[in-house]
Structure 1
Amino acid sequence: MSPRSTQEQTKIIIHCLFEDLKNWDELTEPDGFQEDSFDPALIAEKLRKLGDDYEEQVIQPLMKEIQKAAADKVQTTFVKSVEQLCEQWLTETAEVAPERLLLKASIMLGLYAKRNCPDLSTVVQDTMATFINARVAPWVSQQGGWGQVPLG
C-alpha cells in the first residue's frame, strides 16, 4: 500500500493534537497500514510545543472574534485571525518560512479554541485540517513530509 498523502497525515496529526494522543497505537488503523517514519503523536506534540511558545495575550483578542462567530463563520474568522497573527510575526521574524508561521498560528489558535470553546472543537479541528492542507501541505511535501518538517 502506498504511503499516506500529506493531507491525510495532516488530518491524523490534528486529531492527535485535539485528542491528546500520546502514541500512534491509540489510533485505529482499519487497514493495518502503518508508516515507520510517520509518528503523528510525536509530530502533534512538537506542534503543541510550537504553539505554546507564544503568550496567550496575543491570541485572546483574536479568539474573542472567533468565539463570537457562528459555527458557519468559524472558518473565515479562523483564516483571517491566522493571517493577522502571521503578518505581525513576519515583521518580527522575517527569516522564518511563512508556512511555518502559518502552522504556528494555526496550532496556537486551534489549541486555544479547544481549551476555551469546547463546543466548537469539531468545527475548529476540521477548519485547521482544511486550512493547513490548503496553505501548508505543499510546503510540508517539499520538506519531505511531516516527519521531515523542522518543528523544533
Structure 2
Amino acid sequence: MAPNAPFTFEWQTEQIIQCLLEDQRAHALHCVFDAELEVDSPISNDGPFDPALIAGKLRTVADALNDDVTFQAALAELKQAAATEALEAAFSHGVEALCRAQVSQRAEVAPEMQLIRASVALGLYVKKSSPEMKRKIHSVMTTFLSRRVGPWVDQQGGWDKVV
C-alpha cells in the first residue's frame, strides 16, 4: 500500500467501484465540482486518494472495449449467469476472455492492467444496460479486483499510482 494511504486496498477498491457505478448525474455533478477547483499543478501521485479521479481514468480506458466482439459475448454470458445467480464466475470468465483477446493486440500492457480495463468495461456496461444489477455487479467487481489484482496494485504503490 502507498505509504501515506490511510485505507486498505479493499476499501479503496470499494470506493473506486462505487464511483464507477454511480449514476451519470452524480458523476457529472462531481466533475463540475472538481472543474471549479483551481489546481496549481497536475494531480500529484503524492496527493490524497481520490476514488472519483481514478474511476474517471478507468472509465476512459474501458470505453475502448464497448464494440469488441469478445466483449459482447462476455456480456451475453454475464446476463444469463445473473439470472442463475452464477454472476461472480461469469464475470471472472468474461474478463479473462476479454484479456485473452486483447493480449495479441496489446502485448505491451501489463496483464493486471488488462484485467482492470476489462473488468471496468464489463461492469460499466452491465450498469448501463441492466441498472437493476448495479448492486450485484458492484460486489462482484470489488471482489474480483481485490482478489485478482490487489497484490499487484499494492506493489505499485496503490490505486493512485496504477491509474
Give unmatched runs, 5+ long, in structure 2. 34-45
**Corresponding residue for residue 50 of structure 2:** 39
Q: Post-superposition, which runs of at least 4 consecutive aligned residues in structure 1 deviate over 3 A? A: none
Distance (whole Å) between structure 2 residues aligned to residue 87 and residue 7 of structure 1: 26
Q: Are residues 1:18 and 2:30 paired?
A: no
User: TM-score, normalization: structure 2?
Assistant: 0.79
Q: Are residues 1:54 and 2:65 paired?
A: yes
| Offset, 1:134 | 0.3
**Secondary structure at 2:16's aligned position in 1?**
helix
Q: Is the 8 A contact 2:17 2:141 kept in 1?
A: yes
Q: Are residues 1:110 and 2:102 paired?
A: no
**Corresponding residue for residue 98 of structure 1:** 111
Give unmatched runs, 5+ long, in structure 1. 26-34
| Offset, 1:55 | 3.4
Of structures 1 and 2, the larger Rg is shown by 2
Distance (whole Å) between structure 2 residues aligned to residue 123 and residue 147 of structure 1: 25
Q: Is the 8 A contact 1:14 1:128 kept in 2?
A: yes
Q: What code does the residue aligned with 1:110 have?
A: G
Q: What code does the residue aligned with 1:9 have?
A: Q
Identical-residue share of aligned pairs (%): 42
**Corresponding residue for residue 75 of structure 2:** 63
Q: What code does the residue aligned with 2:75 have?
A: M
| Offset, 1:91 | 1.9
Classify 1:71/1:130 alpha carbon distance in 2 versus 1 (closer, same or farther; 3 Å).
farther
**Secondary structure at 1:37's aligned position in 2?**
coil
Aligned residue runs from structure 1 range 114-129, under 5 A = 114-129=127-142
**Secondary structure at 2:86's aligned position in 1?**
helix
- The CA RMSD over aligned residues, in Å, is 2.1
| Offset, 1:71 | 5.4
User: TM-score, normalization: structure 1?
Assistant: 0.84
How many residues align? The count is: 140
1:79 to 69, 72, 92: 92
Classify 1:68/1:62 alpha carbon distance in 2 versus 1 (closer, same or farther; 3 Å).
same
| Offset, 1:36 | 4.6
**Secondary structure at 1:137's aligned position in 2?**
helix
